[in-house]
Amino acid sequence: MSQSTEPVVVHGIAQGDHDKLVTEVTEWVRGPGEDWTDRIEATGEVPEELWTELRERGYLSMAAPQRLGGKGLSFEQWMGLMEIFSASHASVRMIVHVVNGTWRAMDPFATEEQRDQFVRPSVAGTKKVAFALTEPGNGTGADITCSVEKEGDTYYLSGEKHLITFGVRCDYWLLAARLAGSTGHQGTVALMVPRDVPGVTVKDTSQTMGVTGTDHAHMIFDRAPVPVANRLGDEGQGLEVALGGFLTPSRISVAMSCVGLARRAQELAYDYASKRTTFGKPLTARQAIQFMLAENEADIEAAKQLILHAAREWEAGSPRGSALSSMSKMTAVEMLARATDKALQIHGGLGYWKTEKIERVYRDARAQRFEEGTNEIQKMVVFRELQKSKDVL
């Protein structure tokens, strides 16, 4: 098994080709993407046709290298497109974010046979892979209790996972567990668990405040058989697979999604303020509104530049990549809260009604606060890295 957890650095595509993609994705988000938004909010579901459309347009295989069937964008180039996608419905953003990221966890540890079986179909969008780490009774790290007992060439999986995005409709769960009786990082394993494995009960827990239509699952395993051949990496590397090559860039991606959604909120607020008149003047003539919009503009741009810096440093293999990833996520999340709050306030009471697009944006913005770790977790990471740097001096 490959044991490399170094980031996969790619040179990206030609600037002209990237510019064309930016134009194409922008037109899709503002056109068909808006139609999908209305349909998802009306029905409460993301239909399979949306997944098919995103796959056929190549939007699920942008970030992966060409050797895996992807477009081969650099990470910074992908972040530019992530910002645009994030102005669309949160479920659209969630699909492209997850599918364009899970290969990073699988690929460094996969054999070539596993790449053909799991990684390339995931990049192509023909197989859905759900990242299954979080458990109801503990955190999302070395304290996981979901366990396996090895008998011959089979692991028997028992335990629970919850809040698993796309865990209902997926083909495989990329699941972290531990050998029964082990503790800490030692004994953890990463398994590609088939969705139709015997011995599992799947509960759909998709009734969320925002991100309407993205399915979430609570799974209960009772000695569910998983072939040892479905293990990524070695025994003891489960958390390396789950966290090593995936979490850091994913946090940067979530941070950029905050920028995209904040820009959408800012756009809606400016458009509304330009058209809404009081005492014969548009709201944009009021200094209080001008200040809100100006603060948002500066807030969004500052967060974006930190995120792009983090993206470049991570892709270059900088030792500061982890800290910058957490810095960018905690900064962007707080920015998004301020920006959407001001945008909603500019709409006045009308913004509270579902007839206004800002109402959906405001609800969706709350999800990023816990996606890939809360800000409290990010602060712990940043302080840990700060402490390391001081100890070296």
**Distances from the Cα of 238 to the Cα of 60, 110, 115, 148, angstroms:** 25, 12, 17, 12
**372 is annotated as an active-site residue:** yes
Give the three-state DSSP class for 181: coil
Q: Evaluate whether 173 touches 132 at the Cβ level (below 8 Å).
A: yes
Nearest C-alpha neighbor of 251 from the set 313, 172, 169:
313
Q: Evaluate whether 208 touches 164 at the Cβ level (below 8 Å).
A: no
**Distances from the Cα of 268 to the Cα of 119, 293, 317, angstroms:** 39, 11, 38
- 33 Cα distance to chain centroid: 18
Tell me how far apart the alpha carbons of residues 9 and 345 are, in angstroms, rounded to a whole number.
Answer: 42
List 149's β-bridge partners, or say none: 156
Q: Which residues contact 330 (CB under 8 A, 6 or more apart)?
A: 375, 378, 379, 382
SS (H, E, C) 39-69: HHHHHCCCCHHHHHHHHHCCCCCCCCCHHHC
Backbone phi and psi for residue 31, each to the nearest 5 degrees, phi listed first: -105, -95
Tell me how far apart the alpha carbons of residues 148 and 223 are, in angstroms, rounded to a whole number.
Answer: 8
DSSP 127: S
Q: Evaluate whether 328 touches 381 at the Cβ level (below 8 Å).
A: no
Q: How many Cβ atoms from other residues are within 10 Å of residue 383's Cβ?
A: 12
How many residues belong to the chain? 393
Tokens of 344: 């909603």
Give the three-state DSSP class for 83: helix
Tokens of 175: 């699941």
Nearest C-alpha neighbor of 371 from the set 265, 266, 202, 256:
256
Q: Which of 240, 313, 372, 385 is the catalytic position?
A: 372
Active site residues: 372
